[in-house]
Amino acid sequence: MEKRNRCCEPVPGPLEGQRTHSSHPAKRRVSSADLLGTRRELLIEHLDEVYVLRHTSKGKLILTK
């Protein structure tokens, strides 16, 4: 059985920006491969703080401040 890259598969549900039955906008889905590329870490700025998103050797993601 061929293994497919899930980052390229369409996400079911409303399109980005469309509202669901509640008053909240639809959630956006982003692949970790799109965020990290070939790197193991990504710095994320949020409210004047810097966070580090790490891809571990065991395949997990860890977000630290």
Q: What architecture is domain 6-64?
A: Ribbon (2.10)
What pTM was computed for the model? 0.60
Distance CA 39, CA 19 (A): 34
CB 17 within 8 A of CB 26: yes
Q: How far is CA 33 from the centre of its chain?
A: 8
pLDDT tens digits in sequence order for the chain, 65 residues long: 444 445 555 556 555 555 556 677 888 999 999 999 999 999 999 999 999 999 999 999 999 99
